[in-house]
Amino acid sequence: MDPNQAPFALEHQLISGLIQNRETTEIWERRKKEHEELKGNLSFYTEKMKHRIFAPLGKKAMMKAELIHTNEITVSLGLGWFVKVSAKDAIEICQRRISECDVMLKKCEAERALFEGRRDARLRNEAFGGKEIIEKFDEKEEEKWRDEHREKVKKHKKELAEVKDKVKQTTTETEEDLWKLLDMLELREELEDELSRLGEESGEEDEESDESEESDGDEYDTGENGIDEEPPKEKKRVRFGLDPVAESHEAPDSPPEDPKLVRTTAVKDEISETKPAVAAGGNTVKLSRPASKFKKSRQGNAE
């Protein structure tokens, strides 16, 4: 067959299948219709034993007649065989044949859908591109390829067996390495647990030290702005050679002097000048300091 004629041959086969399917469908539909009519007539004639009818007498004449034994039906079994049955049994036979017609009609419908699907797919998508796929086949080349493939498979299996033997030989060494690795991992885990425990203890000590510092800081008074203030420092009093009279005029209610206070007296190197009077008991006392050598020397140079 010409390769260019292959697509047309396929199209011809599909069309022929569709035509044959349509004819078969019509046959089974006609047979089903006949059995349905027969079933209805049998249901009517089983009501009476005799029925009056007009029997045809030629093509143009009719005559009165009567049907008898309407409850006896002769059924064709095929191949020239007939059997007499009752109307009830004949109705059951008709129903079975109608069911058979339904099954055949479903098969014809599925076959038609298959032919139409193939035809539409080819026309819509052009799956074959208008050409038939032809591949060259050489028996000698095929046999040669099979021999080579067989040799490669044997070689691969042999290498695989060698690898398995090596694995079995090194199984003992591998197990020893695994046990060593497990021991190392256990030791590392113990060290990590110890370090984490020490870290937790140091953290608790830091928290305790912070709490102690906070408690010490709470001993200080808090100012109006909420800022901790340090305790007031003791002030040192300095007395510049007050007279006993001034001391005697001090307020009687004044607290006694703290021995920690530093008492200083005027020395020769201090600058001699008159300070404002110090109020003590309503009296005014003048503070006098002797002139220093430095001031005397300056006065001498000026003269």
Residuewise pLDDT in 10s, the chain (303 residues): 555 555 567 778 888 888 898 999 999 999 999 999 888 888 877 767 777 888 888 888 888 888 787 777 888 888 888 888 888 888 888 999 999 999 999 999 999 888 888 877 766 665 555 566 777 888 888 899 999 999 999 998 898 888 888 777 766 566 777 788 888 888 888 888 888 888 777 767 666 666 666 655 554 444 444 445 455 555 455 454 444 444 444 444 444 444 444 444 444 444 444 444 444 444 444 444 455 454 555 556 555
Cα 62 to the chain's mean position, in Å?
A: 88
Q: Each residue of 114-158: pLDDT tens digit? A: 888 887 776 666 555 556 677 788 888 889 999 999 999 999 889
C-alpha distances in angstroms, 151 versus 86, 154, 156, 163?
A: 77, 5, 9, 19
Q: Give the pLDDT confidence score for residue 134 in this predicted structure.
A: 76
C-alpha distances in angstroms, 286 versus 156, 243, 248, 290, 292?
A: 124, 9, 15, 13, 19
Return the axis-axis angle of helices 171-217 and 139-169, rounded to nearest 10°.
60
Q: Is 67 helix (H, G, I), strand (E, B) or coil?
A: strand
Q: Which residue, chain included where needed, has tokens 């203890």?
A: 201
Which secondary-structure segment (H or E) carries 85? strand 81-86
Q: Is 154 helix (H, G, I), strand (E, B) or coil?
A: helix
Cα 242 to the chain's mean position, in Å?
A: 94
Q: Which residue, chain included where needed, has tokens 């069911």?
A: 99
Note whether residue 225 is domain-resident.
Answer: no
Note whether residue 179 is domain-resident.
Answer: no
Note whether residue 289 is domain-resident.
Answer: yes
In 3D space, the residue among 47, 42, 49, 45 whose CA is nearest the CA of residue 90 turns out to be: 42
Q: Which 8-state DSSP code applies to residue 74?
A: E
Domain stops at, among 125, 153, 182: 125
Q: Give the pLDDT confidence score for residue 188 in this predicted structure.
A: 85
Note whether residue 219 is domain-resident.
Answer: no
Return the axis-axis angle of helices 6-45 and 87-125, rounded to nearest 10°.
160
Domain stops at, among 72, 93, 125: 125
In 3D space, the residue among 106, 204, 7, 12 whose CA is nearest the CA of residue 196 turns out to be: 204
CA 207, CA 200: separation in Å to the nearest integer? 11
Note whether residue 172 is domain-resident.
Answer: no
Note whether residue 37 is domain-resident.
Answer: yes
In 3D space, the residue among 76, 96, 72, 70 whose CA is nearest the CA of residue 85 turns out to be: 72
Domain stops at, among 84, 109, 125: 125
Task: Read off the CATH number of the domain in which 69 is found.
Answer: 1.10.287.370
Question: How many separate domains does the chain show?
Answer: 2
Note whether residue 175 is domain-resident.
Answer: no
CA 98, CA 89: separation in Å to the nearest integer? 14
Range of the domain at 279: 244-249+263-302
Note whether residue 23 is domain-resident.
Answer: yes
Neighbours of 207 (CB within 10 A): 10
In 114-240, where do the E strands start and end?
A: 221-222, 228-229
Tokens of 57: 């007498």
Are 284 and 277 within 8 A, CB to CB? yes
Q: Give the pLDDT confidence score for residue 100 in this predicted structure.
A: 92
Tokens of 216: 């010490």
CA 162, CA 156: separation in Å to the nearest integer? 10
